[in-house]
């Protein structure tokens, strides 16, 4: 028995260390929302047809493969809402952000509307998912 312990002690020590480390992470993160966009993200709200009156609506399909269209053209000075349509509830894309526009939108399955500021300056603004894995562009013309 003594020789078995001498051979196995490094593996036992490593196993105990891994269990202690994983247990520490579990206790630390238990109850915290660590999903992307959980900081100051705004959860998308449901819009009614009355809410959309007077707005140009641009539909953007969101999937694990990216944004479709990848370049979103918005007219400067025109009231616009971008509808990010999340087609699947099981996806790594849970939020969309564009720092220079002040956009940080936590999405749910279905329609997710973001109102673009009418006074935004013309130019190109980088758009990405909350995990920085999918990128696109909002082009204000």
Domain with 101 in it: what CATH number? 2.60.40.420
Tens-place pLDDT, residues 53-62: 899 999 999 9
E strands along the chain, which residues? 42-43, 56-63, 66-68, 71-74, 80-86, 95-98, 103-106, 110-116, 123-129, 135-140
| Residue range of the domain that includes 63 | 42-140
Residues 73 and 19 both lie in one domain: no
Quick check: is 47 in a domain?
A: yes
Residues 48 and 82 occupy one common structural domain: yes
β-pairing verdict for 95-98 and 123-129: antiparallel
Residue 43 above 90 pLDDT?
no
Residues 14 and 80 in one domain: no
100 and 48, same structural domain?
yes
The answer on pLDDT for 96 being more than 60 is yes
Percent of the chain with pLDDT over 90: 45
Tell me the pTM. 0.68
Query: Has residue 37 got a pLDDT over 50?
Result: no
Q: Are residues 103 and 126 in the same domain?
A: yes
Instruction: Flag whether 51 is in a domain.
Output: yes
Token couple for 114: 């973001």
Does residue 51 sit in the same domain as residue 98? Answer: yes
Nearest to 34 by CA among 96, 94, 99: 94
Mean pLDDT taken over the chain: 85
pLDDT of res. 128: 94
The stretch 89-105 carries a mean pLDDT of: 87
In the numeric block, the tokens 């007077």 are attached to 54
Q: Say how many domains are in the chain.
A: 2
My answer on whether 56 and 27 are in the same domain is: no
- Position 20 in a domain: yes
- Tell me, yes or no, whether 3 and 56 share the same domain: no
Edge to edge, the sheet with strand 135-140 lists 42-43, 103-106, 95-98, 123-129, 135-140, 71-74
Q: Which two tokens stand for residue 71?
A: 């370049």
More confident residue, 24 or 133: 133
* Structure token digits, residue 58: 């641009």
The model's pLDDT over 72-85, given as tens digits with 9 standing for 90+, comes to 999 999 999 999 99
């Amino acid at each position: 028995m003594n020789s078995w312990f001498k051979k196995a002690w490094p593996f036992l020590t490593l196993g105990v260390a891994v269990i202690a480390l994983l247990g520490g992470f579990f206790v630390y993160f238990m109850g915290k929302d660590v999903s992307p966009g959980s900081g100051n993200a705004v959860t998308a709200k449901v819009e009614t047809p009355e809410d959309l009156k007077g707005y140009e609506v641009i539909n953007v399909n969101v999937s694990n493969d990216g944004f479709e269209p990848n370049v979103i053209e918005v007219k400067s000075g025109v009231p616009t809402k971008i509808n990010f349509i999340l087609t699947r509830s099981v996806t790594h894309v849970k939020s969309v952000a564009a720092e220079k526009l002040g956009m940080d939108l936590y999405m749910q399955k279905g329609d997710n509307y973001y109102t673009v500021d009418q006074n935004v300056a013309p130019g190109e603004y980088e758009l990405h998912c909350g995990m920085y894995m999918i990128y696109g562009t909002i082009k204000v013309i």
